[in-house]
Amino acid sequence: MTSIVTITVDGKTLEVEKGKPLLQALLDAGIDVPYFCYHPRLIIIGACRMCIVYNEKTGRLITSCNTPVEDGMVISTKHPAVVENQKYLLQAFMTRHPLDCPICDKAGECDLQDYGALFGPQKQIVPVSALEKERHELDWESDFLEYYSNRCVVCYRCTRACDDVVGARALYVEERGFHSNIVPAQRPMDTSTCEMCGICVYVCPVGAIISKPFKYWTRSWLLKRHLTACSLCPVGCEVQIEYGVGDWRSEEKVYRTKPTDSLDICAKAFFGYDLLNDSRLRKPQLFGKEETFGNTAQILATYLKGEGTTAIVISGYLSNENLALLKEIAQRSSALVSTTLTANLYPFLKTYGEYKPIGIEDLKNYSQFLLVGEDLTSTAPVLSYYIKGKVFKVGNVERDAKLNPEVISWEATQKLDGRGLLVFNLEGVFGESAKEWGAKVRKFKEEKGWDVMLVCKEANFLGVLENFSWEELTPIESLIRHVEEGRVRNLLIFGEDLFDLYGSERISKLREKVEHFVVFSPFLDGLSSLSYFRVPMFLMGEEEGTYSTLMGKRKTKGFLPRGGSLQEFLKSLLDSLPKGGSISRLSEELFPQEGLVEVHLYRSNWLTRRSANLSKLYEKNSLYEGVKNV
């Protein structure tokens, strides 16, 4: 039970949680205390000393970040000794810091810049010339991250985040004192253990580590920012999207994506933001001409009310609201419904039984983990941040190597003792194989008493599971063969999930087998380029909706200027259809025996393939891995 104690700060009485870092208690109370090295998610080390306060009872200065709150404390943040020492420390930082704010990307959101303004003009406290300020420059050999050694205040935030949050251990501190440098454990940086999550850029209090794709494009004060849930993988991280205009040559677009102070972000979101800008389908297009959403819904309703079979392929990247509307539309049009999840998730559950989702917050209750299947870090990177304890692995080990897993066979799992969590990655498991694994995992759970967490790459695979039962879905292979046999008149495809399973050649031929090939996509090219009837789908930051994620129910928000609402379109379509009917289903259950499995940190689904940044990282790493394996 949390114990509340009373402390006095600058003459005011506060009630705070006992044992909480004093600095955090002061910040929570709205009291400004300068600091560089402290971050609520990171291990406290007290490196910068800027957060000093005066303990009135002992008559001494103390660092507030590593001082736990105790009952009866009397603290001053404005004591002359505090101000004098903070000003001296700041002058020491400034002595070695270049005054390059006009060309630094951190300008406008730099802690050192802010404190310089707060404490007033600084004096040179030691006789150091401008030339002597130069610290050894270190090239990280990266196309995405750039390190400026002279700007570094050696707060160790970046190394602590990489070690303790991500676990990649891609950075370390070389030398000591003024000569300290942040060094990659391996170079080139882009093909090292670094996961390009960008957290080091975000936590850096100055401009020592910057994002090259963002460099010189705009200024922080020119951008608008909002929070939303990321919908690029099943974790559901809350991220900040920053958008607006850059310089006089730039258009209004998304310029970067950042985490919140929870530090939940990966490369898919941090560097994959460019997919929100490029080759986007913004309005419905019929026969090469733009059409209104209302007229498009009316025309599509005419198709669905006509003779012949309708088939709908839903996407695991749609919100729960859109999935619910599509279910009603399918019922009123007596349509067949399918999803690529009928190739792995649903066959697995057919033998496993009822699945009760386990969230990321629950992971702290386990001390040992059994990872089964493809590389988990590549599929859902942020999930791996929360796996702390003994790890066993059955299957492929790539980025999961950071967890120091003990690789074992499935048969060896019978020797595992105690309570734990089995995390099953369903990528690369199809049809009959998925059924076999479902039975094996169920038996393991019953015999060992372990809990089970399922992971698919789709952002809302749990939402699909909540909205559609197995009895309402036709297996995707069965539906595609039904189309290929010419038995479907209207084919509605949402997203490009099919490309993740089958590739483009087979899917592109389906348009020749139906009368109306209708594609809902965020993009102008790809699958939508094959259709004369295409309707926009919207991505994170563009449409409000709810996703069922590994972090629970998450809200996506619509704030980007060229967003829209697929929900409104589907509601209009639903209102144009007669009530009644039920979802159709094919009795024959066919499953693909294999699929296009590409479990890679930088290319895990059809959305991440759209990012030029992620594609470049993928190509560099693929080339490096190919050379390494020769």
Task: List every span in the chain annotated with CATH 3.40.228.
Answer: 345-455
Q: Would you call 10 helix, strand, or coil by DSSP?
A: coil
Cross-strand pairs, 494: 520
Q: Which CATH class is domain 345-455?
A: alpha beta
What is each CA distance from 1 to 4, 5, 17, 76, 303, in whole angstroms?
10, 13, 10, 29, 61
pTM, 2 dp? 0.94
Question: 306: how many CB neighbours lie within 10 A of its CB?
Answer: 13
Report the helix count and the strand count for the chain, using DSSP H and E. 18, 26
Domain with CATH 3.40.50.740 in the chain: 285-340+465-598
* b/e per residue 439-462 (b: at least 16 CB within 10 A): ebbbebeeebebbbbbbbbbbbbb
Label residue 355 exposed, middle or buried (CB < 10 Å: 0-12, 13-18, 19+). middle
What's the pLDDT tens digit per position in 123-135? Answer: 776 666 655 666 7
**What fold does the segment set 285-340+465-598 form as a domain?**
Rossmann fold (3.40.50)
Q: Which of 66, 96, 61, 113 is nearest to 177 (CA)?
A: 96
- Token digits for 409? 């066979």
Q: What is the pLDDT of residue 597?
A: 72
* Structure token pair of residue 52: 């000093």
User: Cα separations (Å) of 595 from 349, 371, 450?
Assistant: 19, 21, 30
pLDDT at 576: 95
Angle at 317 between CA 319 and CA 561, to 5 degrees: 70
Question: Which residue spans of the chain are classified as CATH 3.10.20.740?
Answer: 4-95
Instruction: Output the CA–CA distances (angstroms, integers) from residue 449 to 349, 409, 550, in the order listed.
Output: 18, 19, 21
Report the C-alpha gap between 629 and 166 in whole angstroms. Answer: 26
- List the one residue out of 194, 205, 202 whose CA is nearest residue 151: 205
Helix (H) or strand (E) holding 533: strand 533-536
CB atoms within 10 A of CB 406: 11
Which residues in the chain show pLDDT less than 50? 630
* pLDDT at residue number 119: 87
Q: What does the pLDDT read at residue 175?
A: 87
pLDDT for res 333 = 96
Q: Would you say 96 and 128 are in contact if contact means Cβ atoms under 8 Å apart?
A: yes
Gyration radius of the chain's alpha carbons: 27
Q: Which long-range contacts (CB under 8 A, 24 or more apart) does 481-484 make?
A: 481/590, 482/309, 482/311, 482/336, 482/586, 483/311, 483/510, 483/513, 483/514, 484/509, 484/510, 484/513
**pLDDT tens-digit profile of 16-47?**
999 999 999 999 999 999 999 999 999 999 99
Strands (E), 160-280: 171-174, 181-184, 209-211, 223-229, 238-244, 253-259
Average pLDDT taken over every residue of the chain: 94
| Class of domain 4-95 as given by CATH | alpha beta
Structure tokens at 93: 């930082």
